């Protein structure tokens, strides 16, 4: 294990899941280290002293932080298999744009659905559904966001799907009713070994979210 990349992670984190999917999609063996947010490890605090957040990928003794940055690094560090980006500059720019869209539009909205109540929760649900519909339009009839190949945008978004059941339970709505094509895409992605091995069971996520709500709302 000494020479393997080390991934500092936290099991329910959709951002940590991105790094897991990326590494497995490339066939890279890695050492997984679960972080305790109430008692962060010295390695995490040293490796990401700016944000003190997961995921952090430590490769050849050097830390790489922030989930989308980690995914790009993995693609460049192990270029031999399953490229995450199109070969043309425009396609690569578009992929970065849509992954950034996912981060900007999903992150706060999804937390409001399962981590808030009342008006905040309703606002989050509205923002989330609007973003889902935009992404469904961008997906169109393609199997994946980049076309025929599973890639960067797919990795950025698919990890949120492990939380879909929690969003539906606590937000009292159906994502499939709002966006059937996106759910079909998610099911397609879940057939990939790199994805289903990296995403936790949705029931575990629901239980995690329920515990958070009990303790914080």
pLDDT tens digits, one per residue of 86-116: 999 999 999 999 999 999 999 889 899 998 8
Chain-centre distance of CA 131, in angstroms?
Answer: 15
Give the pLDDT score at 51: 78
Q: What are phi and psi of 57, to 5 degrees?
A: -105, 125
Element (H, E) at 159: none
Give the pLDDT score at 70: 95
Give the pLDDT score at 49: 76
Give the pLDDT score at 2: 55
Residues paired with 147 in a beta bridge: 144
String of b and e for 108-126 (b: at least 16 CB within 10 Å)?
ebbbbbbbbeeeebeebbe
Give the pLDDT score at 98: 96
Helix axes 202-216, 89-115, angle to 10 degrees: 50
First to last CA, the chain: 42
Chain position carrying tokens 């490769």 = 59
Tell me the whole-structure pTM to 2 decimals.
Answer: 0.91
Give the pLDDT score at 173: 87
The reply to whether omega before 55 is within 30° of 0 (cis) is yes
CA distances from 118 to 63, 114, 168 (A): 40, 11, 15
- With a cut of 50, list the residues of the chain below it in pLDDT: 1
Give the pLDDT score at 197: 95
Residue 195, judged by CB atoms within 10 A of its CB (0-12, 13-18, 19+), counts as: buried
């Amino acid at each position: 294990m000494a020479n393997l990349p080390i991934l500092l992670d936290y099991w329910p984190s959709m951002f940590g899941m991105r790094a897991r999917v990326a590494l497995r999609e490339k066939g890279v063996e890695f050492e997984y280290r679960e972080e305790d947010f109430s008692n962060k490890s010295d390695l995490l605090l040293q490796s990401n002293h700016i944000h003190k957040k997961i995921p952090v990928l430590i490769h050849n003794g050097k830390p790489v932080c922030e989930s989308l940055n980690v995914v790009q690094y993995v693609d460049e560090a192990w270029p031999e298999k399953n490229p995450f980006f199109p070969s043309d500059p425009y396609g690569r720019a578009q992929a970065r744009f849509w992954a950034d869209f996912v981060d900007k539009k999903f992150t706060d909205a999804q937390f409001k659905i399962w981590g808030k109540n009342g008006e905040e929760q309703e606002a989050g649900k509205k923002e989330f559904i609007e973003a889902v519909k935009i992404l469904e339009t961008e997906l169109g009839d393609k199997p994946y966001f980049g076309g025929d190949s599973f890639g960067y945008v797919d990795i950025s978004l698919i990890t949120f799907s492990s939380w879909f059941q929690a969003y539906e339970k606590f937000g009292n709505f159906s994502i499939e009713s709002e966006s059937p094509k996106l759910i079909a895409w998610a099911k397609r992605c879940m057939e990939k070994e790199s994805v289903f091995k990296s995403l936790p069971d949705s029931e575990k996520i629901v239980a995690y979210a329920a515990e958070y709500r009990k303790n914080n709302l």
